[in-house]
Chains A and B, each alone.
Chain A
Amino acid sequence: AQSVTQLGSHVSVSEGALVLLRCNYSSSVPPYLFWYVQYPNQGLQLLLKYTSAATLVKGINGFEAEFKKSETSFHLTKPSAHMSDAAEYFCAVSAYFGNEKLTFGTGTRLTIIP
Chain B
Amino acid sequence: EAQVTQNPRYLITVTGKKLTVTCSQNMNHEYMSWYRQDPGLGLRQIYYSMNVEVTDKGDVPEGYKVSRKEKRNFPLILESPSPNQTSLYFCASSPPGASYNEQFFGPGTRLTVL
Q: A82: CB under 8 A from chain B?
A: no
Whether the pair B42, A102 counts as a contact (CB closer than 8 A) is no
Interface size grouping (class) on chain A: 20 to 34
Whether the pair B105, A102 counts as a contact (CB closer than 8 A) is no
- Give the chain B neighbours of A105 by CB distance below 8 A: 42
Whether the pair A101, B45 counts as a contact (CB closer than 8 A) is yes
Interface size grouping (class) on chain B: 20 to 34
Encode contact with B along A20-64: 1 for CB under 8 Å, 0 otherwise: 000000000000101010000111111001010000000000000
Q: A95: CB under 8 A from chain B?
A: yes
Q: Which chain A residue shows the least CB distance to B98?
A: A100
Q: What is A's interface to B at a CB cutoff of 8 Å? A: 9, 32, 34, 36, 41-46, 49, 51, 90, 94-96, 98-107
Q: What is B's interface to A at a CB cutoff of 8 Å? A: 4, 31, 33, 35, 40-45, 48, 50, 56, 58, 90, 92, 94, 97-100, 102-103, 105-108
11 contacts between A and B (CB under 8 A): A32-B99, A32-B100, A43-B4, A44-B103, A45-B105, A46-B102, A51-B100, A90-B43, A96-B99, A102-B45, A102-B99
